[in-house]
């Protein structure tokens, strides 16, 4: 997606002769750069420098009348809604999706990885900033380094929380944190015995990141992560959200993993582990519904 231009260099946007004056572009543009000369009159472009390049106008126009420099004809496609999955099919996809940790050693095919990344990149971002980046790790040595980095951070936390100088005053204030101390111990013991409870044998990791100055990095990244997860499920690829690795990153003021991955100046906001499952779950279950307040 092209980046937003400065006010001194606005996008070239026009409304062609095919315009049927339906006003859809006026209604959907978040920057309100379209308007009418008079009620029900012709559509005009005002202040194109405010364009955030979201493409709503081009997508909404039924007549193909919007001439937008960022969206040439080869990038605009007629939507065929008969090809969309039914609501029941979408519900089924979400119902069967689980964090399947029974992974085989087979690598995820590159074609699948490409489709999963493409799905992630279609997710919306705040103000259409489009500042997310994706780093995919498939090298076994790098994957091992990520797991051991995480365990190392947890070992440091375990030592801090268990300190006789810290524990007496911190545990009453943060009792929930201390329930993880035995978890950290168990994770390290299992890893030493050949059972990786961090990556679970995943053959690929997708790191979703944004510039450190991006205030909506977490929101944008997790929307992208959901797209990636649903596409992975549709392809028969297991996916596991890497909460442990994210926790380690947030506790590391030296940002060592960022340096390892060449992501200096970037904020890692979501991580998805991928692998080919040994089997697919034959059942799905109905969860206890969450409480819903209707006001």
| CATH code where residue 19 lies | 3.30.70.20
Same domain, 257 and 197: yes
CA–CA dist 49, 173 (Å, integer): 51
Higher pLDDT, 117 or 177: 117
Residue 147 lies inside a defined structural domain of this protein: yes
Last residue of a domain, one of 75, 103, 122: 75
Same domain, 188 and 264: yes
Same domain, 150 and 103: yes
Last residue of a domain, one of 40, 75, 110: 75
Residue 197 lies inside a defined structural domain of this protein: yes
Q: Residue 2 pLDDT > 50, yes or no? A: no
* Stated pTM of the model: 0.91
The enclosing H or E element of 239 equals strand 238-241
Domain extent at residue 184: 85-284
Same domain, 89 and 30: no
Same domain, 114 and 70: no
Same domain, 34 and 166: no
Same domain, 273 and 137: yes
For residue 142, give the CATH number of its domain. Answer: 3.40.109.10
Same domain, 45 and 109: no
Read off the pLDDT band of 1 (50, 70, 90).
Answer: very low
Under 8 Å between Cβ of 264 and 212: no
Higher pLDDT, 264 or 1: 264
List, for residues 44-82, the tens digit of each pLDDT value.
999 899 999 999 999 999 999 999 999 999 999 999 999
CA–CA dist 265, 282 (Å, integer): 44
List, for residues 195-219, the tens digit of each pLDDT value.
999 999 999 999 999 999 999 999 9
Same domain, 141 and 195: yes
Query: What is the sign of the dihedral through the CA atoms of 274, 180, 196 and 281?
Result: negative
Say what the pLDDT of residue 5 is.
Answer: 54
Residues 6+ apart with CB under 8 A from 29: 56, 57
Residue 163 lies inside a defined structural domain of this protein: yes
List, for residues 208-253, the tens digit of each pLDDT value.
999 999 999 999 999 999 999 999 999 999 999 999 999 999 999 9
β-strand 204-211 against 133-137: which pairing, if any? antiparallel
Strands (E), 46-157: 66-68, 133-137
Same domain, 160 and 221: yes
List, for residues 27-49, the tens digit of each pLDDT value.
999 999 999 988 888 999 998 99
Percent of the chain with pLDDT over 70: 97
Residue 2 lies inside a defined structural domain of this protein: no
Under 8 Å between Cβ of 7 and 31: no
CA-wise closest residue to 273 among 246, 247, 231, 239: 239
Read off the pLDDT band of 168 (50, 70, 90).
Answer: confident
- 């049927």: which residue's tokens? 20
- 């991928």: which residue's tokens? 274
Same domain, 112 and 198: yes
Percent of the chain with pLDDT over 90: 84
- CB neighbours of residue 5 within 10 Å: 15
Last residue of a domain, one of 22, 51, 75: 75
Residue 133 lies inside a defined structural domain of this protein: yes
- CB neighbours of residue 267 within 10 Å: 19
Q: Looking at residue 26, what DSSP letter applies? A: H
Under 8 Å between Cβ of 272 and 225: yes
Under 8 Å between Cβ of 115 and 109: no
Residue 192 lies inside a defined structural domain of this protein: yes
CA-wise closest residue to 268 among 279, 283, 258, 254: 258
**What is the number of structural domains in the chain?**
2
């Amino acid at each position: 997606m092209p980046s937003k231009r400065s006010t001194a260099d606005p996008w070239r946007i026009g409304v062609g002769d095919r315009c049927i004056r339906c006003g859809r572009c006026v209604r959907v543009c978040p920057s309100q750069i379209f308007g009418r000369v008079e009620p029900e009159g012709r559509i005009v472009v005002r202040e194109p420098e405010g364009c955030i390049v979201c493409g709503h106008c081009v997508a909404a126009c039924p007549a193909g009348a919007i001439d937008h420099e960022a969206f040439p004809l080869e990038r605009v496609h007629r939507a065929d809604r008969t090809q969309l999955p039914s609501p029941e099919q979408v519900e089924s996809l979400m119902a069967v999706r689980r964090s399947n940790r029974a992974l085989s050693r087979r690598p995820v095919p590159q074609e699948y990885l490409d489709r999963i990344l493409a799905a992630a990149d279609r997710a919306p971002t705040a103000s259409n900033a489009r500042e997310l980046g994706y780093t995919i790790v498939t090298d076994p040595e790098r994957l091992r380094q990520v797991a051991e980095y995480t365990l190392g951070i947890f070992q440091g936390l375990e030592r801090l929380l268990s300190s006789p100088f810290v524990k007496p005053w911190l545990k009453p204030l943060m009792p929930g944190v201390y329930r993880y101390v035995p978890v950290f111990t168990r994770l390290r013991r299992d890893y030493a015995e050949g059972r990786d409870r961090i990556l679970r044998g995943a053959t690929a990791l997708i790191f979703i990141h944004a510039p450190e100055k991006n205030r909506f990095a977490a929101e944008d990244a997790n929307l992208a992560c959901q797209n990636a997860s649903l596409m992975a499920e549709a392809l028969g690829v297991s996916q596991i959200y890497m909460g442990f690795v994210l926790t380690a990153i947030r506790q590391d003021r030296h940002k060592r993993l960022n340096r390892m991955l060449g992501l200096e100046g970037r904020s890692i906001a979501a991580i998805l582990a991928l692998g080919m499952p040994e089997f697919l779950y034959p059942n799905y279950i109905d969860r206890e519904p969450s409480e819903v307040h209707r006001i």
